[in-house]
Amino acid sequence: MKVTINDVAAKAGVSIKTVSRVINNEPSVRPATKKKVMDAVKELNYQPNLAARNLAGTRSYTIAFIYDNPNAYYVIDMQNGILDACKARGYELLIHPSNSKSPDVHKELEDLVEHSKVAGLVLTPPFSETPEVIETVKKLGVDYVRIVSSEAAQKDEDNCIQVDDSSAAYELTKHLLDQGHKRIGFLCGGEEHVSTHGRLDGFKRALQDGGIAPQQELILKGEYSFDSGVQGAKKLLQSDNPPTAIFASNDEMAAGALFAARLMNIDIPAQLSIVGFEDSPFSRQTWPKLTTAHQPNNEIAKCAAALVLSKARSKGAAESGSASKEAGIQRTFTPSLVERDYSGPAPS
């Protein structure tokens, strides 16, 4: 009887997902866990499906998910969405975390495509929004799809799944303005992400349409992390004229801002309103729950994977009808307002 990944997981006493992470050589797995899995692989003589199928002929049945993002919830949602699309089409997934700021990133991508024999790449920010990376991928001749903020799509829309960060940020800011807030702080994410600039653009447009000039002292640079939210909120709230609301560029930062406000004994939402972005578990694990913008990362990833697989399969003569399937894939997503408890009327 053929040995499956389920058999390896049972033998090693771990989940199927952990076995997959070990096989894909993800660095997040503990050495002891990795050893247990590899011992089980050797003992059962397990051969991963992707290796067996890719070695069987010239056609690849694997796509790679390339990311550099500290938010585990984002990565898991993306991974699960891509996996859903792969399973539906009989493909495997190679998960490849990388450092977008590394000087060796271009060589790393070249080695990945050459040695892993992938049919296509799903690129997420900041890789998907870096022109030099896109040029490298184009030169490699591999099919790819970019998940990008709409501002980064430009002339490459055919290879993009877009997220309209600016429109969603506009609605979130308008929600705060409608509550009577006039002095609103904004915590930026990492500058290398185009989503940061899109969200800031929507924030500023909403203020201007509401007759309020954006104030630079209320807009702080940061990163998409809890600690950045803590530090940014402290700086805003310790100023001589603190804001009555804070717009954090993602939910993890918003949770950090909430933590900082509570350390300062600020009553929320009576004295301060906080909103986030993405509708990640961070927004639902606080109490009360955070107002945010729902970004369907799982569905976004599923569409990206379906698009790159459609492109890859269309190369084969047997897949000549795949272009019509591709036309039905959703290309643009606008996160929607989710009103919860941590945004209230401006204090009188």
> Is pLDDT of 59 > 70?
no
The residue-averaged pLDDT of 47-65 equals 62
pLDDT digits (tens, 9 = 90+) for 98-148: 998 888 999 999 998 888 778 899 999 999 999 999 999 999 989 999 999
pLDDT for position 52: 44
CATH fold for domain 5-163+297-333? Rossmann fold (3.40.50)
246 has a pLDDT exceeding 90: yes
For range 20-31, the mean pLDDT: 72
At position 277, the amino acid (one-letter code) is F
pLDDT, residue 48, reads 66
312-348 pLDDT, tens digit per residue, is 777 543 343 334 345 578 999 999 999 987 677 788 6
68: phi then psi, degrees, rounded to nearest 5? -145, 90
pTM: 0.77
Rounded CA-CA distance 75/67 in Å is 8
Give the C-alpha separation, 23 to 190, whole Å. Answer: 31
What per-residue confidence (pLDDT) applies to 153? Answer: 64
C-alpha 271 chain-centroid distance:
32
Of 68, 139, 145, the C-alpha closest to 312 is: 145
* Rounded alpha-carbon distances, angstroms, from residue 259 to 187, 205, 286, 287, 345: 14, 28, 10, 11, 20
pLDDT in tens, 249-306: 999 999 999 999 999 999 988 899 999 999 999 898 887 789 999 999 999 999 999 9
Question: Across 53-57, 85-89, 236-240, which has the greatest mean pLDDT?
Answer: 236-240
Please report where in the chains the tokens 């011992």 appear, as a residue. Answer: 39
Mean pLDDT of 82-106: 90
State the pLDDT at residue 277: 97
State the CATH class of domain 165-295: alpha beta
- What pLDDT, in 10s, does the model give residues 212-245? 999 999 999 999 999 999 999 999 999 999 999 9
Asked if 149 and 125 count as a contact pair (C-beta separation under 8 A), the reply is yes
What residue ranges of the chain are covered by domains with CATH 3.40.50.2300?
Answer: 5-163+297-333, 165-295
Question: Residue 66's beta-bridge partner residues?
Answer: 96, 123
Pair of tokens at residue 62: 């694997």
- Nearest-angstrom CA–CA distance, 169 and 194: 13
Neighbours of 173 (CB within 10 A): 26
